[in-house]
C-alpha cells in the first residue's frame, strides 16, 4: 500500500465500547480522509472482524467489556495472520505498568485522551508508514548488513524484525537480554546492535558499556529502542556510548532514519 497524503487507502477497525467516543473518533477519522471505518465494541468482536479480513489498522480503547486493549493486542501478536497489523491505543490511562504491555507489543502509537485530530493524524501516518514499503531505502547500502536485536519482549523483537526485513536486512540474530547478547558478540561479527533498555540479567545500559569498554567490536553502532522515561537513566545510557535512542512505541520511519544515521557515524 502506498502512503498517501489523505490516508484514503486505510481500512480502520475502531474498537470502542462508548457510543459517544466511537462517534467522535469515527468523525475524526473521516476528517483525515479515512473512508473505511468499521466499529465494534468488544475485543471478541474485534478479533472476529480481523480474522474475517479487510482491516489494515486497529484503533482501540484500553478498557473493553470483555478484555483490556493489552489483551487484544497480545491476542493479535500471537496470531500469525494478525501479528503484523498496526495497533493504535487511545486511552486516558497514564500508569506505566498498564501501558507497558502495549509499548512492548510493537504498537505504532499510544494516543492520550483527550486528543486532537492532529495527534490522531500522526498516529495514522505512523501506521501507514509501517504498512508501506520503504521506497527511499537503497537496497545496495544495506546488502549483507548484520544486525543483533536484543529485547526480552518476543512481540517487540518480531515487530522490529519485520521492519528490518522490509528494509532488506536478512542477517538478523536475536538475544533475550544483555548477557545473551554479550555471548553472541564474542564470536559473531555484527554491523549494528538494536537493544531495549529494561531487560533481566543485563540491561541496555550495561550492554552498551560492555560493548564500548570490553568488546572487540567496541565501535559498532548501538541503537536503543526503549519505553524508559527516567531522564537520569537515559542520560546514563548516553554516557555509556549509545549511538541513538528511540522511544517505544516508535514510528517505522523513525527507526529507518535512526538506523541510517547510526550506520553513517
CA neighbor of 59 nearest in space, from 104, 3, 126: 126
Least confident segment among 116-130, 163-177, 182-196: 116-130
Phi, psi of 139 (to 5 degrees): -60, -30
Residue 83 in this model has a pLDDT that exceeds 90: no
Ramachandran bin of 5, using left for φ above 0, alpha for ψ from -120 to 50, beta for the remaining angles: alpha
C-alpha span between 73 and 14 (Å, rounded): 13
Which CATH number applies to 11-131? 3.40.50.2300
The predicted pLDDT at position 15 comes to 96
Long-range contacts of 218-222 (CB under 8 A, 24+ apart): 220/190, 220/191, 220/192, 220/193, 221/191, 221/192, 221/193, 221/262, 221/263, 221/265, 222/192, 222/193, 222/194, 222/195, 222/262
Q: Dump pLDDT digits (tens) for 85-131.
A: 889 999 888 887 777 777 777 677 888 888 888 888 888 887 887 77
Rg (CA), the chain: 19
DSSP letter (8 states) at residue 63: B
Please write the tens of the pLDDT for every residue from 3-19. 444 578 889 999 999 99
Which residue spans of the chain are classified as CATH 3.40.50.2300?
Answer: 11-131, 139-264
Please state, for a pLDDT cut of 90, what percent of the chain lies above it: 34
pLDDT value for 139: 57
- pLDDT per residue as tens digits for the range 202-212: 999 999 999 99
CATH topology of domain 139-264: Rossmann fold (3.40.50)
Amino acid at each position: 500500500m502506498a502512503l498517501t497524503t489523505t490516508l484514503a487507502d486505510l481500512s480502520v477497525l475502531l474498537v470502542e465500547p462508548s457510543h459517544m467516543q466511537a462517534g467522535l473518533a469515527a468523525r475524526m477519522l473521516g476528517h483525515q480522509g479515512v473512508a473505511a471505518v468499521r466499529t465494534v465494541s468488544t475485543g471478541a468482536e474485534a478479533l472476529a472482524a480481523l480474522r474475517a479480513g479487510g482491516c489494515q489498522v486497529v484503533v482501540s480503547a484500553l478498557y473493553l467489556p470483555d478484555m483490556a486493549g493489552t489483551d487484544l493486542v497480545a491476542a493479535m501478536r500471537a496470531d500469525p495472520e494478525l501479528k503484523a497489523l498496526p495497533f493504535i491505543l487511545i486511552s486516558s490511562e497514564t500508569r506505566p505498568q498498564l501501558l507497558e504491555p502495549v509499548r512492548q507489543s510493537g504498537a505504532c502509537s499510544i494516543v492520550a485522551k483527550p486528543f486532537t485530530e492532529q495527534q490522531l493524524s500522526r498516529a495514522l501516518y505512523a501506521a501507514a508508514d509501517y504498512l508501506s514499503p520503504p521506497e527511499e531505502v537503497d537496497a545496495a547500502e544495506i546488502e549483507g548488513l548484520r544486525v543483533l536485536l536484543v529485547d526480552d519482549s518476543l512481540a517487540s523483537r518480531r515487530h522490529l524484525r519485520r521492519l528490518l526485513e522490509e528494509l532488506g536486512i536478512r542477517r538478523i540474530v536475536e538475544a533475550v537480554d544483555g548477557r545473551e547478547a554479550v555471548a553472541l558478540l564474542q564470536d559473531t561479527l555484527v554491523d549494528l546492535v538494536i537493544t531495549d533498555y529494561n531487560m533481566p540479567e543485563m540491561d541496555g545500559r550495561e550492554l552498551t558499556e560492555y560493548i564500548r569498554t570490553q568488546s572487540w567490536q567496541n565501535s559498532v553502532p548501538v541503537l536503543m529502542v526503549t519505553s524508559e522515561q527516567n531522564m537520569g537513566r537515559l542520560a546514563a545510557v548516553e554516557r555509556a556510548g549509545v549511538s541513538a535512542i528511540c522511544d517505544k512505541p516508535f514510528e517505522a520511519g523513525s527507526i529507518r532514519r535512526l538506523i541510517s544515521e547510526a550506520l553513517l557515524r
